[in-house]
Amino acid sequence: MSNKLVEAMADLNEDAVLEEVKALKAKNVPALDIIASLQEGMGIVGKRFEEKEYFLSELIMSAEIFNEASQLLGGMGGAGTASKYGTFVMGTIYDDIHDIGKNIVTTVMSSNGFNVIDLGVDVPTAKYVEAIRQYKPKVIGISCLLTTAFDNIKECIQTLEKEGLRKDVKVLIGGGPVDEATCKYVGADHVCRNAQETVEYSKKYMGVQ
């Protein structure tokens, strides 16, 4: 973890963030480790927002800085784009438009050989149902950053059950406030803290190691 990068991200110091990302890249620090520091910084941004030290404009700024920094990281060091594993369907649940974490997960999954179908943000249940019928994935991912949208994930998973699709698909969830208790509450299979964990669990569920 680069404390310098965590602090620069938390302070929304754009120049310092970009400079430090370039410096870490030059030292061959893996892209996912750099992302972990940026993610930690974003957590502090969130806390400052909660404590009313930051406002919506700062949240927007943090997203812009994060996106610029991840552009410097390019493909995030995967194993190439040829699809050697199964299909992974991913989206951010409806009422939620946070997509930075989702985009990292989809990029890393596809660069690790998964065929990724990205449904975007604010995804209604019907779109998950349609995608599961069409692409027949063994694993799907639902991203959620808002506690107020937990019930939406629950509704989505219950609908998959009603439609007879749940037994054939593992449901991974993730996003800042999501934890084991959320996983139990919404009826998902597993919660992943980062993209690498998502790759590992997906390989396991898809029967490849």
Which residues lie near ligand B12 (CB under 6 A)? 39, 42-43, 45-47, 49-50, 56, 59-60, 62-63, 95-102, 104-105, 141-143, 145-148, 172-177, 192-195, 198
Q: How far is the CB of 147 from ligand B12 (least distance, A)?
A: 4
Cβ at position 91, least distance to ligand B12 in Å: 9
CB of 116 to ligand B12, least distance (A): 11
b/e map 74-100, b = 16+ CB within 10 Å: eebebeeeeeebbbbbbbbbbebebbb
Q: 144 and 150 in contact (C-beta within 8 Å)?
A: yes
Integer Cα distance of 184 and 171 in angstroms: 12
Closer Cβ to ligand B12, 129 or 146, answer by number:
146
Closer residue to ligand B12 (CB): 115 or 194: 194
90 Cα distance to chain centroid:
9
> Nearest approach, Cβ of 9 to ligand B12 (angstroms)?
9
- Residue 173 Cβ vs ligand B12, minimum distance, rounded to whole Å: 5
Q: What is the rounded distance in angstroms from the CA atom of residue 15 to the CA atom of residue 170?
A: 41
Using the minimum distance from each CB to ligand B12, give the nearer residue, 33 or 161: 33
Residue 15 vs 50, nearer CB to ligand B12: 50
**Rounded-to-integer distance, Cα 115 and Cα 135, Å:** 10
What CA–CA distance (Å, rounded) separates 206 from 202? 6
Q: Whose Cβ is closer to ligand B12: residue 19's or residue 122's?
A: 122
**Least Å distance between CB 185 and ligand B12?**
14
Cβ proximity to ligand B12: between 176 and 187 the closer is 176
